[in-house]
A and B are shown apart, each in its own frame.
Chain A
Amino acid sequence: QKEVEQNSGPLSVPEGAIASLNCTYSDRGSQSFFWYRQYSGKSPELIMSIYSNGDKEDGRFTAQLNKASQYVSLLIRDSQPSDSATYLCAASIQGAQKLVFGQGTRLTINP
């Protein structure tokens, strides 16, 4: 069973600080990784994708991938109350056209 693991939280971060979200995956053949944000009662929305080792930055978001250690992380700089949501990590499954999702980490930004 291919798995993606996340700490379910909740993770509380003061406004303006850096929020750090982590994810590990079990399939060494996974090539594509994604971070989704989901507000309560809404569908997930894609915020970052990463395919190669290292960092990828997009505005206040930075995704980090380490294939040797099989982990993916998401950093949110200058956290805002509007960043409060559940963040889902997803990884592709080698040889299959589908993604496996983690359980999600609930993030709360405190004003």
Chain B
Amino acid sequence: SQTIHQWPATLVQPVGSPLSLECTVEGTSNPNLYWYRQAAGRGLQLLFYSVGIGQISSEVPQNLSASRPQDRQFILSSKKLLLSDSGFYLCCGQFNEKLFFGSGTQLSVL
């Protein structure tokens, strides 16, 4: 079965610091991969998605970026975090049209 690994579970970062969140997938090859963000009490906002190595589609203009250096690896980055980047970040993979989520990273920017 497919498994999405995401870490860390929680992260506290100062404003202006860099960010790197990593997500890896087990149990399948060439999955579609996604980064969503969820602000407190809000719905899921699609940030980036990737259909293959080096292929990134950005949904929302912001100071975040994404990369897919390997088939089963998806990375979310920022050079300088803003207060508004705080939220619950979720990596997910699409298998047979269904999305399955990793355990998420709660990011607090202070």
Name A's B-contacting residues (CB within 8 A): 32, 34, 41-46, 49, 88, 90, 92, 97-104
Contact = CB atoms under 8 A, between A and B. Distances in A.
B32 to A, nearest CB: 5
Most buried by B among A43, A44, A90, A98: A43
Contacts of B46: 98-100
A34 B99 contact: yes
Contacts of A32: 97
Q: Which 7 A-B pairs have the closest CB atoms?
A: A103-B43, A43-B101, A101-B44, A43-B104, A101-B43, A97-B32, A32-B97
Interface of B: 32, 34, 36, 42-44, 46, 49, 51, 90, 94, 97-104, 106
B43 A97 contact: no
30 contacts: A34-B98, A34-B99, A41-B106, A42-B103, A43-B90, A43-B101, A43-B102, A43-B103, A43-B104, A44-B44, A44-B101, A45-B101, A49-B97, A49-B98, A88-B43, A88-B44, A90-B99, A92-B97, A97-B32, A97-B49, A97-B94, A98-B46, A99-B46, A100-B46, A101-B36, A101-B43, A101-B44, A102-B43, A103-B43, A104-B43
A98 B102 CA distance: 16
Given A43-B101, A101-B36, 5 more contacts: A42-B103, A44-B44, A90-B99, A99-B99, A101-B43
Contacts of B102: 43
Given A88-B43, A92-B97, A97 B103 contact: no
